[in-house]
Structure 1
């Protein structure tokens, strides 16, 4: 009995074997079967060569954090791309597979993939791409603070290297326009993710000036036909995707944010007037894709502003604002020259709605669920255009009814859109629904509808669309509602007391909705 207990104890202690094969002497004595220790000579040919070591730029902790947090690439990157380490490789894959889709706000991501990714053979563009992906990753929910800090550290280091590379190119006399424009877009995204709108729009303004100068000094007038198959010809001075991206940024909000006390401000809408205005698009009976529908809607939107608009700067903080003038200027920005061409524009927007209806209905089915975010966003933009083209609405009984229906539909659909799992609650490059909600807050007289609009803005926080920040707009909307409630309270007592109310009659300007 003692021997059996001893044998069981030896088993639990994993008796050390000697070098005999196929069974060692010690195990044979205790009734165990084993194959002994393997000889090194027998396994020398089966050993795998050691994995090549990578040159690590950051600490080991940062490297491990980057690798552990990224999903593996579904497909390898182009063979001509050279990565300094595995972290760069995974952040590149993250940008290609996730960040580029998020930046596009539900629309096609052809600007970022393939155009920007193809430009990553330039080391500075590659570093900017990696930095943007790392910073976007750092702002995801559910990360440990140390993990978030490591992503931020990696992003800032790559961003600094990219800026030094761009400065070196400029100092050496190299000024490739395509690289400069792509770099400006990536810098805009990176600084916007950091929350520094002022630094984000600086390269955008410089790029707009560069594009305008390039197109206006060509020997023959440049015209871009957006209805032709995608892909810029080799002779094109600027890639069409880049041209469209900057055209979408070229509006009054950009000028208001960047020229606080300048008079007069640079005109907006220059790119459309120069490159697209003569190529008028005729609405087809139906759209093949949402991207096609977007081009036609943008054509209608920009034709409501047929000439470059000069934004008149608002007075300094110390001087009292002329609220009536501000509202008048806002309407001029959104509906300039509509009075002379409203019937034509109304006809076009009606044709657009008829052509878009099948795509919208399909997006609300189970089969088309993946297109819902883009379709709903575009439909909301079209409804806000309805309000703009009708003269910013709420002026006559008929306009009041039509504009109320548009505004109510915008709020209802926006509420559903914000709850959709594909709706991004962080930063997106493409403009979505915030400007449409701003129009309701500034122009709609119905306070219940304004409260519902503000609730939608609160639900989508901290979403940012280009230069628009849902948090800033929601805060301005709350001040607007509080001012109206207080003014109403004083009106019930004596209308003459309204001017004595601390917040009575508060009307935030477009600049305040932008947070400028």
Structure 2
């Protein structure tokens, strides 16, 4: 692809218009200010932006300036081109309309407050075809909630809908996923009807239109909005993965990231992503953060642990990213909300060092490959973790559980959707503690395992911890609001599955298999509950057959 021009394309006449002698105002939305046009100051979204196909980025408030961190993270090299260099903060500082299925936003969100106080969903479709309108309505009411997994994720529930009004290929991808979702829902019934086939054909038709529109968009000669095609890549990945085409899904995102590097003038062969505890602040940061989390999952799914894998983990993953993070973090004594708690446990599980969740998942997948008779690349020795690194991570994990238990205590009486999300996050934290206590997938320099001592003190034994995880797992999975469909982010599939590598108790093994079966056909990121339930059954059968010899 040719490089974008050094000077942004200007659609208005070059001749400077004479300004009327009227007083200037500073209360317009951020998008209109950037475009230097008069804003109608509509709330929650500027109607002028919507009418002309722009994403309205909301209004500046004193609160938004107050919570902005003093030191910015250098996420990626700054772009050269002014038209794509600075995008306004994505978060309109207005109170979101509350609906029964969304999270309670009464809490003050600290630095993340601006990200999750978002406006109500757009109330009208950007197209007028009756059939398209029907699918778009389904997308708004069902698909976005499924993608977010019941979480109040503004990327899916607000800004994706805004993007549908800006770019036709985003709109067509929304119709694609809506039709795909309707087809899958019918297939989960007692029979496959002609209606299901119609939805499937419509989905493929819209997907083809989306790819064609993306190619035309990039070949148009105008500077593309980098946020739009990054968002499109996520939607394409979701569609292809749900179709069972993981390799195609990965290739699509790789191609998008290659184009992203070209537009951002990134000369290195990979994208270096610095993980941070603070929540992303701009739409581009949010999408890149989503891709980074997806990248890590994809790497774990495809990775094979090598015999020479000692103190360091492989950093470059399937999408061509290098993940970096600080060696340690300061865990607060209390979490203001479940989003903050999830942010911290994600760091402890996947981004910080040592990466115990990564070790455990790679160990589990390697074990499955061995049972299936696949050739492995050396013995499974596991990483050798220095004693101080283990101690630091254990202290952080213990602090996390203390803060998380306080949050659960506040949420439990209300039993809202936020409480249901908090239970899933707690399971993730317990899985981390279990992996550390049982040393699943790694070795320690010292014989003293304080994680095991913590488990014995708090739960009585490893069995007690496993029983607590299974109990919480049943509460989550058997809840009527639990979504048995595709959700984008980390969930509890692998957390429940990893119990098999901490115990050989047949009763616990059977309970683990049953919970995974009860989750079907749910998919989380790159993890499929049906596939993992089958793998769990295979592991249990193999153990029984070995024990009988």
C-alpha deviation, 1:266, in angstroms? 7.6
Larger helix percent = 1
> CA distance change for structure 1 residues 223 and 201 in 2, over 3 Å: closer, same or farther?
closer
- Contact 1:384–1:406 under 8 Å retained in 2: no
> CA distance change for structure 1 residues 193 and 162 in 2, over 3 Å: closer, same or farther?
same
Q: Which structure 2 residues correspond to residues 254-333 of structure 1 after superposition, within 5 A?
A: 254=299, 256-257=301-302, 267-268=315-316, 277-278=325-326, 281-301=329-349, 302-305=351-354, 321=375, 325-326=379-380, 328-329=381-382, 332=383
Work out whether 1:231 is the aligned partner of 2:269.
no
Equivalence for 1:17: none
- Contact 2:316–2:323 under 8 Å retained in 1: no
**Aligned CA-pair RMSD:** 4.2
Equivalence for 2:491: 432
Structure 2: distance between partners of 1:325 and 1:353? 34
Count of matched residue positions in the alignment of Structure 1 and Structure 2: 399
Structure 1: distance between partners of 2:254 and 2:468? 34
- Contact 1:338–1:391 under 8 Å retained in 2: no
> CA distance change for structure 1 residues 201 and 363 in 2, over 3 Å: closer, same or farther?
farther
> CA distance change for structure 1 residues 104 and 255 in 2, over 3 Å: closer, same or farther?
same
Equivalence for 1:414: 473
- Contact 2:328–2:392 under 8 Å retained in 1: no
Cα deviation, 1:173-205, whole Å, max 9, x if unaligned, reads 665432221111101221233233332232234
1:388 pairs, out of 422, 425, 435, with 435
Cα deviation, 1:250-269, whole Å, max 9, x if unaligned, reads 22644644999xxx998447
Structure 2: distance between partners of 1:114 and 1:279? 34
The two structures have a TM-score, normalised by structure 1, of 0.66
Cα deviation, 1:101-138, whole Å, max 9, x if unaligned, reads 11112322212122222222111011001111121122
Work out whether 1:138 is the aligned partner of 2:183.
yes
SS in 2 for 1:140: helix
Work out whether 1:112 is the aligned partner of 2:156.
yes
Work out whether 1:102 is the aligned partner of 2:146.
yes
Structure 2: distance between partners of 1:484 and 1:161? 50
Cα deviation, 1:31-60, whole Å, max 9, x if unaligned, reads xxxxxxxxxxxxxxxxxxxxxxxxxxxxxx
2:520 pairs, out of 458, 461, 471, with 461
Structure 2: distance between partners of 1:462 and 1:274? 32
SS in 2 for 1:227: coil
Equivalence for 1:11: none
Equivalence for 1:510: none
Query: 5+ unaligned residues in a row in structure 1: which ranges?
Result: 1-74, 233-237, 491-516
- Contact 1:105–1:424 under 8 Å retained in 2: yes
- Contact 2:329–2:396 under 8 Å retained in 1: no
**Greater RCO structure (CA 8 Å; 6+ sep):** 2
> CA distance change for structure 1 residues 209 and 380 in 2, over 3 Å: closer, same or farther?
farther
- Contact 1:387–1:403 under 8 Å retained in 2: yes
Structure 1: distance between partners of 2:148 and 2:241? 14
Cα deviation, 1:154-175, whole Å, max 9, x if unaligned, reads 2221111001111223444665
Work out whether 1:189 is the aligned partner of 2:234.
no
Equivalence for 2:68: none
The two structures have a TM-score, normalised by structure 2, of 0.63
Cα deviation, 1:467-488, whole Å, max 9, x if unaligned, reads 1111111111111111111111
Cα deviation, 1:229-255, whole Å, max 9, x if unaligned, reads x632xxxxx722212211221226446
- Contact 1:103–1:427 under 8 Å retained in 2: yes
Equivalence for 1:508: none
Equivalence for 1:168: 216
- Contact 2:297–2:525 under 8 Å retained in 1: no
> CA distance change for structure 1 residues 338 and 104 in 2, over 3 Å: closer, same or farther?
farther
Work out whether 1:373 is the aligned partner of 2:420.
yes
Work out whether 1:486 is the aligned partner of 2:545.
yes
Query: 5+ unaligned residues in a row in structure 2: which ranges?
Result: 1-119
- Contact 2:354–2:390 under 8 Å retained in 1: no
Asked which structure has the greater CA Rg, the reply is 1
> CA distance change for structure 1 residues 217 and 300 in 2, over 3 Å: closer, same or farther?
farther
Equivalence for 1:497: none
> CA distance change for structure 1 residues 324 and 420 in 2, over 3 Å: closer, same or farther?
farther
